[in-house]
Chains A and B, each alone.
Chain A
Amino acid sequence: MSLIKSLLIFLFIGPLLTLFWWQGTLDFEILEHIWSYTLGPSIIQTVILVLGVSFICYGLGTLFCGWLFYFSGPFRNFLLLLLVLPLAWPSLNLAYLQRDFFSYSGFLMSFLREYQWPIFSVAPLFGAILSLSTGLMPYVLVAGYFGFFRQQSKIVELTKTWSLESWQIRKHLILPAIFRMSVFPLIAVGFEVLSDFGAVSVWNVDSLSALILKTWFSMFSIQSAKFLSWLILFAAISLILIRWIFTRKTYEDLQFSAAVDSELILKKDYFYFVGCIFFILYLSVAYIAPLASLTKEFKWEFFVNFFNESVFWSLNSLGTQLLLVLLIAVILIGLHAFLFTAMTQRWLIARPIFYLGYALPGTILVVAFLPLFSWIKMIPGWSQSYLVFFFLILWAYVVKYANVGLSLLDGHSKSLNRSIEEILSFRTTETSQFSKWLILCRYHFGQIFPVILILWIDILKELPLMLALRPFGFNTLMTKSYDLISEGFWAQAMPFSVLLFILGAIGVWSMLYFQRMRVHNE
């Protein structure tokens, strides 16, 4: 077991050590310039971005969580799906479409100008917050909603015993409960914002990740860029501390507080109407804006070409790509479960390493894998093999996404452990750590499957790692979509983006379906 642990530690620390181990000297002239002119504004904008996105995600996530309970049956599920589907958009594509929609020459302003109504412009920082919030709010909503659902019966009892009014239920039970349930996804939102380069580049926001990449790409100083990456480490550690503080409270409080039965809050008061207004606003930003921009440049011929000219099949191929995504997701989840039982609970220092992989911009993480990429090429006959690529990309994705699965599984750690111990107490023979892991996988399959689906969505949308580590001639929907969008060929990029969205949407729908089944079974 200790050998496996050591290997796992190397699996995560190895690449990161490569990243922070620099040869040569730092370029102090560039660092001095960054210190004097760009670092301050970048830190401020990053803080505003993280706080802004977290605030909106929490606000909307909480609001929609409570609001959805006004509805019942399949209609509620449909509304939930509408609210969660934007998760399937890659942030670059969504931001591009939204910026286009709000631009002077875009759909909205052209319409307003035509009817001589006053026009407005969206500030870049606000635009980036809007785009990131649209795509990340569903994380908070899903976690809050199902956590909320699970505690329903306890709350019904409480509210009946205490004879609470609906506003009291909301104030004292629902909102605090959702907040605590939202801590995990909110921290994940923070990491996503820290590492994002898609939305910030479209809206031209000088975030920390933008500064790091500018230092590398424009000032040709990769050493300074690596040095600046330490700031991301500090930001990640701060988020971990916040998470730790809230986590401690969460487990205690969740024993008695959570959601409320729909029957108790069905009075359509102000909360219902506020929910309706924000629902319409969210739908406008998440659907109408991208759809308006999509249809503006829609050309049927590109869709026909996409299928007819075998582009659809030649993404080397779409099947291989999807299998790769699935394989990574399955391996990751197995690894998560293993790490979860074998290591993380006893060895808490491992956690920041998982988080760092998630918080670092993908392009910077690539630097960590380039030497490994080169060493593997030393093996005769391997340099052109897809196996090398699969191996490397798998490794890189494990480092990048370890946090996603762990954060999601973490929420169940205490109850999970207790169940395993109970099961093991009935066994006469001694149980190894590996058996514990197998039991864990078996008994908590219901939780693991939604995690696989979230990873499926994340990996489909991932760009920098795939872009840099793919073999010759290998394309994914995301790399093709990026290639075309970055050259302003939105009409040509549309079939790739739409298919990407559809595949992501299948993941979102399945995730909601499995979550619902799990909650009902519980």
Chain B
Amino acid sequence: MKNRKIVQVSKNLLSKVASILVVGLVMTAHAEQPVKTLNVYTSQKEEFVKPVFAAFEKSSGIKVQFVSDKGPVLIEKMKAEGSRSTVDLFLTVDAGNLWLAQKEGLFAPVQSEILNKNIPSQYRHTGNEWFGFTLRARTILYNVNKVKPSELSTYEDLADTKWKGRLCLRTSKNVYNQSLVAMMLDKQKPQQVETTVKGWVANLATDVFPDDTKMIEAIAAGQCDVGIANHYYLARLAKDNPKIPVAVFWANQKTEGVHVNIFGAGVLKSSKNKQDAQKLLEWFASQEGQTVLAQNNMEFPILTGVKPAELVAKWGSFKPSNQSLSKAGELQAESVQLMDRVLYK
């Protein structure tokens, strides 16, 4: 009896749900599309790109709709879609992904005076297929109660035995560390880089961390004294907790400069809306766009004269590495193999 009742109630419920679903599907399928819309694939998280696109929309009247996922997944998606793709722009946070997309022949060259003028050559593709708009510095962070800035100098120095049991690192599976090691491979002999990375592993105070935030919290708590992280992670933590006992040290200032990566983008070859896509790139490189980007993601603007976020500006200026960022992608597989060899997990 009870069973029959459940079946009856469930049948009613299911039929109601089905009718709502059909109405919902029809409504969503016929949702109006704005006249001017740009479609973007991005590996940057929605939290950061949403306000930036909103500002662009306000300024240009062009609506931006996007999907975010991991860079390589989006690249594979774009490859599969080929000329049928409805995507106009690929926006990502690592030069390695831009390099890969370019290598796969997904980008179209963009001829723009604004972009050529505002973006230094090391932060864009030689054939103008992708461009970097803000810089993220991967540098040394230290616990102010345990380390004096005078004790610090370079990434390579962190392999010295004086840091034994005092170093914290993020996992080698993360693209930021892979890019850092790739750029070291570009400047130094593989054996030298291997010695450095091996030294880092030997100096670890604890297991590697899954993300920079947790690593910085460990430095603040005193689990380790120094670490390597992207500067904006500290900025985010310092925004909530200004008394956090962790400070930034700009690494390798007497040598090649701090390792930087970019927030960059390229227009897709298959784009049906290249003109508007170029407008978005030019807006990123403009005074207005640079200010919005810098305030929003706490990265360093590429355009001279635009100030970074106040908190980040307090850390002072630094000499960034002038290596071509294409190398980060080119040497990434090699850097991963090197880290595997020295058991950097």
A residues adjacent to B (C-beta < 8 A): 30, 33, 37-38, 99-100, 103-105, 110, 121, 123-124, 201-204, 206, 210, 214, 216-222, 319-320, 323, 326-327, 330, 363, 366-367, 370-371, 373-374, 377-378, 383-387, 390, 442, 445-446, 449, 467-468, 470-475, 480, 483-484, 486-489, 492, 514, 517, 521
Contact = CB atoms under 8 A, between A and B. Distances in A.
A517 B10 CA distance: 14
Interface string B171-210: 1010100100000000000000000000000000011111
- Point out which of B72, B85, B236, B329 has the most chain A C-beta atoms below 10 A from its C-beta: B72
A425 B104 CA distance: 63
Given A104-B223, A484-B47, A374 B82 contact: yes
B10 A473 contact: no
A202 to B, nearest CB: 5
Nearest to B212: A488
A153 B40 CA distance: 62
A105 B7 CA distance: 52
A386 B31 CA distance: 9
Instruction: Pick the 6 closest A-B CB pairs, nearest first.
Output: A488-B213, A105-B221, A370-B80, A472-B65, A104-B223, A386-B28
B197 to A, nearest CB: 14
Nearest to A488: B213
B21 A442 contact: no
B96 to A, nearest CB: 8
6 contacts: A105-B220, A373-B77, A377-B86, A386-B29, A442-B7, A488-B212
Contacts of A323: 17, 20-21, 24
Interface in B307-345: 329, 332-333, 336-337, 340-341, 345
B39 interface: yes
B128 interface: no
Contacts of A514: 6
B211 A483 contact: no
Contacts of B86: 377, 383-384
Given A103-B214, A105-B217, A384-B33, A377 B3 contact: no
A378 B84 contact: yes
B218 interface: yes
Given A204-B210, A521-B2, A377 B236 contact: no
A468 B77 contact: yes
Nearest to B50: A473
Contacts of B72: 216-217, 220, 222
Interface residues of B, number: 67
A110 B73 contact: no
B207 to A, nearest CB: 6
Contacts of A377: 81, 84-86
A218 B29 contact: no
Contacts of B67: 470-474
Contact of B206 (A121, A473, A480): A121
Given A219-B336, A370-B76, A488-B236, 19 more contacts: A30-B333, A38-B340, A103-B214, A104-B206, A204-B173, A217-B71, A217-B72, A218-B332, A219-B337, A220-B329, A220-B333, A221-B333, A222-B72, A323-B21, A330-B14, A370-B77, A377-B86, A484-B47, A521-B2
Nearest to A100: B214
Indicate the member of B39, B73, B206, B208 with the most A CB atoms within 10 Å: B73
Interface of B: 2-3, 6-7, 10, 14, 17, 20-21, 24-25, 28-29, 31, 33, 39, 45-47, 65-73, 76-77, 79-82, 84-86, 96, 100, 171, 173, 175, 178, 206-214, 217-218, 220-221, 223, 233, 236, 329, 332-333, 336-337, 340-341, 345
Contact of A488 (B66, B69, B211, B345): B211
Contacts of A103: 214, 217-218
Question: Chain B interface mostly helix, strand, loop or mixed?
Answer: helix
A220 B173 contact: no
Contacts of B341: 37
Contacts of A387: 25, 28-29
A487 B217 CA distance: 14
Contacts of A487: 45, 47, 213
Contact of B175 (A104, A201, A218, A386): A218
Contacts of A373: 77, 80-81
A445 B6 contact: yes
B6 A475 contact: no
Contacts of A216: 72
Contacts of B329: 220
Most chain A CB neighbours (cut-off 10 Å) among B31, B81, B208, B236: B81
A374 B80 contact: yes
A320 B24 contact: yes
A473 B66 contact: yes
A326 B17 CA distance: 9
Which of A103, A467, A470, A521 is packed against the most chain B CB atoms within 10 Å?
Answer: A103
A124 B84 CA distance: 44
A517 B2 contact: yes
A202 B81 CA distance: 32
Nearest to B84: A377
B7 A320 contact: no
